Amino acid sequence: MGGRMNILILISHPGSFGGTHRVAINLANRMSSDYRVHLASVYGRNEQLQFALDSQVSTTVFLPEEDRLRSMAWALSKPLRNYLRQHDIDVVLLIGNYHGFVTLPTILTYRKARFIFCDHGALMNQWDALPVRWMRRWCSRLCAATVTLTQQSRRDYIERFNLPADKVHAIYNWLDPQLTDCSHSYDVDSRSLLWAGRLDEEKGADLLLDIARQLLPRFPQWRWLVFGTGEMHGQMTEEIRRLGLEDQLLLRGQVSNLYDEYPKSSIVTLTSYREGLPLVLLEGKACGRPLISFDVSTGPAEIIRDGVDGFLIPPFDTAAYTQRLTEMMADDRLRLEMSRRSKETISQFDQETIYAQWRELLEGLCPTKISDSVKPGSQR
């Protein structure tokens, strides 16, 4: 048998607060107990990682600054190939569509490593965007495996790109054990809604404002707390002031530990136009919060059971969203029952359940390599 597997996880830049980066670092931390793990950034200059990284994980940055994607793809190719060769990398995890594109020259020219394309979006959400569709098609064809966040996206990849079923794997993001092990009781007297994400169009910041305009004047004792930053912050601040909702719709910015906010909330909300597998819903579910979201093509329907632990709303019907949210806010007993049932399906997002799927994929691609936890002669 060979030695320990060497894995490189590629992210865009160290300074991002995004969910994709958080997932990448969670993977690096967990995998470091079994494999040699490297976390590499495509670009970045004097930026610090925004999430805690295990000391066993090696880090590097390839390029000093961001550029056009085509220019970066060619600039990245040589230093990335050199790093793969120098560290005898067996598997490269490309976390997100961006990394699939900028590594295409390397995928085509470096044959000693197996590349896994990890799509953290949803294929059909951007089907009409031809450059993104082209990139996804070729990455999924050229890489040794493609990992999607949902079963629906897996089916879409297989059907739309005519890929072998055993080459496409649906692996959920796991939940932090800190959340799955929590036992927060549900405070039925809470009058707080929670929304978290980037303040931009994709995350439905405009839809959030429209719903708040219809909803909050009916419930003057309720507050809607919005966590995150983004390009629409200034526009939202002005609109909130215009609507006279300064005391109810509160922009809280980026917080150091969002986990502390879920137990204080009564309902977790999502208003996105498109999603992969939304962490905010998963984290709300782990804390036993009722959920509400538009039923966009992937993600929410694999987390929320409509009418059981939350509501799925036809995209992008803000009147229907407002009506369902009104029902939840007005009925303490409904929220309490949804909270009670919210954790019934949480085990499918358990860290060790998901990590076992990653190990099976990795060791299937490199069968001569073993992890530290599987020694010769031992049984799994």
CB atoms within 10 A of CB 48: 7
Beta bridge partners of 173: none
Q: CATH says 6-174+350-365 is which class? A: alpha beta
Q: Is the pLDDT of residue 186 over 50?
A: yes
Per-residue confidence band for 228, with pLDDT thresholds at 50, 70 and 90 = very high
Which helix (DSSP H) or strand (DSSP E) does residue 110 occupy? none
pLDDT digits (tens, 9 = 90+) for 42-64: 999 878 888 889 999 999 999 99
The set of residues, in sequence order, having a beta carbon less than 8 Å from that of 78 and lying 6+ positions away, is: none
Eight-state DSSP code of residue 272: -
pLDDT tens-place string over residues 229-244:
999 999 999 999 999 9
Alpha helices in the chain (DSSP H): 19-31, 69-86, 97-102, 104-109, 130-142, 151-161, 177-180, 205-215, 233-243, 279-286, 318-330, 332-342, 351-365
Burial of 221 (0-12, 13-18, 19+ CB in 10 A): exposed
Position 196 pLDDT exceeds 80: yes
- What residue ranges in 212-307 does DSSP mark as E strands? 223-227, 249-253, 267-270, 291-294
Is the CB of residue 86 less than 8 Å from the CB of residue 120?
no
- Is residue 20's pLDDT more than 90? no
**Tens-place pLDDT, residues 116-127:** 999 988 898 889
Any idea how long the chain is?
Answer: 380
pLDDT at 372: 54
Unique residue bearing structure tokens 């072998």: 164
Tokens at 271, concatenated: 């208003």
Q: What is the token pair recorded at 40?
A: 């590499």
pLDDT of residue 2: 53
d(CA 363, CA 333): 48
Share of the chain above pLDDT 90, in %: 74
Distance from C-alpha of 246 to C-alpha of 263, rounded to nearest angstrom: 23
Q: Write out the two tokens for 216.
A: 């909050």
- The token duo for 198 is 């980037």
User: How do 114-119 and 91-95 pair as beta strands?
Assistant: parallel
Tell me: domain 177-347, CATH 3.20.20.60, correct?
no
Check residue 370 and give its pLDDT.
60
pLDDT at 51: 84
Q: Evaluate whether 310 touches 290 at the Cβ level (below 8 Å).
A: yes
With contact defined as beta carbons under 8 Å apart, do 83 and 238 qualify? no
What are 345-357's pLDDT values in tens digits?
888 899 999 999 9
Strands 91-95, 6-11: pairing is parallel
Q: Where do the CATH 3.40.50.2000 domains begin and end in the chain?
A: 6-174+350-365, 177-347
